[in-house]
Amino acid sequence: MDYSNFISQLLKGNPRAVARLITFVENDIDAAEEIVNSIYKYTGKAYILGITGAPGTGKSTFISTLTKFYVEEGKKVGIICVDPTSPLTGGALLGDRIRMKQNFSLKNVFIRSMANRGQLGGLARATEDVIKILDAYACDIIIIETVGVGQSEVDIFKSAQTIVVLLVPGLGDDIQAIKSGIMEITDIFVVNKMDFPGADKKVSEIKQMLEFRNNYKYDSKDLSEKYAKIELWTPEITKVNSRSGENFDELLKLIKKHEFFLKESGVISNYMKNRITNETLQILKHKLTEKVEKLLNSDKEIGKYIDQAIQKSLDPYSMVNLIIKMLGLEKE
């Protein structure tokens, strides 16, 4: 199929072309390959925010309000709602999407929800491709919303420059609900619903939790000597009311501060490296799996190995080593 017409429409800012291209990359990895190949040179300008929180913490309300502020600043915003727990696009996410769409003009805000429909190459791969489409569509900000409970979300968040976790006043259930891998990579903790009692208490609880933790996201050996003198990022904590917009000016400042930190410290190059490595891994896993599956089903040589394994003259690990050799993937 020829995607060039859709791509030129995308670059002209046509939202319908965006929707079509997203559907293509979600459903067909060969289409994704072709499309990404054509648009890659137009990407890299958007700022990517990852936002998560337990159900009911106010993610949708928060993202609507945040988007309103960005649109007022003249920015174009793309929103991707990812729900790995749901096999179908629908339910709460769809309702949210319709409600949000009513609030914004299609010109400035593009909203898309993605569910785990057994995407080829996985949800993280599909999300990364959708980010690229929105980036080429000239979105200044891309917000990725997830429900924060699954492992695949940790992978999805590797694409985000700034990660925001929403919590609410009250018992720590919301903290426990978030997958621990996400807590470790959070840049800004937001206590939403600050109009409820206990918001300040929640802020101090988060502070305490962070004090007990000593492995910050950027405190890695990967950071070269060059950056050693620059202070690493300590996660920020703030509180907002997403219904009224109270304290969003403070939140926006913190996001800017983090963006500035990434650039000034040079951590941004670390981020790029991680993001591309992760993406490469996702695609490679898919391609290799496909190749190996084909081989297992058709190759005569492997058929012989399998027979040997049945006869116990070859164990599965040794068989895999032989297959790796056949694929030419050995080190030497």
Which residue, 127 or 282, is less far from Mg ion as judged by CB?
A: 127
Question: Site residues for ligand GTP, window 257-296 (CB under 6 A)?
Answer: none
Residue 60 binds Mg ion, judged by CB under 5 A = yes
Find the Cα–Cα–Cα–Cα dihedral 66, 71, 73, 79, rounded to 10°: 60
Dihedral sign computed on CA atoms, order 72, 263, 254, 110: positive
Binding-residue total with ligand GTP (CB under 6 A): 17
Does 52 help bind ligand GTP (rule: CB under 6 A)? no
Q: Does 90 bind ligand GTP (CB under 6 A)?
A: no
CB 165, CB 184: distance < 8 Å: no
Specify the amino acid at residue 237: I
Residue pair 137/13 in contact by the 8 Å Cβ criterion: yes
Q: Reduce the secondary structure of 193-206 to three states and give it as a string.
A: CCCCCCHHHHHHHH
Residue 95 binds ligand GTP (CB under 6 A) = no
Can residue 278 be called a binding residue for Mg ion (CB under 5 A)? no
Interaction of residue 61 with Mg ion, rule CB under 5 A: no
Show the binding pattern over residues 63-102: x = contacts Mg ion (CB under 5 A), - = does not: ---------------------------------x------
CB of 166 vs ligand GTP, minimal distance in Å: 7
Angle of helix 316-326 relative to helix 267-298, nearest 10 degrees, comes to: 100
Q: Could you tell me how far CA 45 lies from the centroid of its own chain?
A: 16
Residue keyed to tokens 């190749």? 291
Q: Which does 121 bind (CB under 5 to 8 A by kind): Mg ion, ligand GTP, none?
A: none
Q: State the helix-helix crossing angle for 122-136 and 267-298, rounded to 10 degrees.
A: 130
What is the distance of C-alpha 149 from the center of its chain? 13
Paired sense of beta strands 236-239 and 109-115, if any: unpaired
Q: Which of the listed partners (Mg ion, ligand GTP, none) does 195 bind, with a CB threshold of 5 to 8 Å by partner kind?
A: ligand GTP
Q: Of the candidates 13, 56, 91, 266, which one interacts with ligand GTP according to CB under 6 A?
A: 56
Q: Is 265 in the site for Mg ion (CB under 5 A)?
A: no
For position 197 contacting ligand GTP by CB under 6 A, the verdict is no
Binding residues vs ligand GTP (CB under 6 A): 53, 55-61, 92, 96, 147, 192-193, 195, 241-243
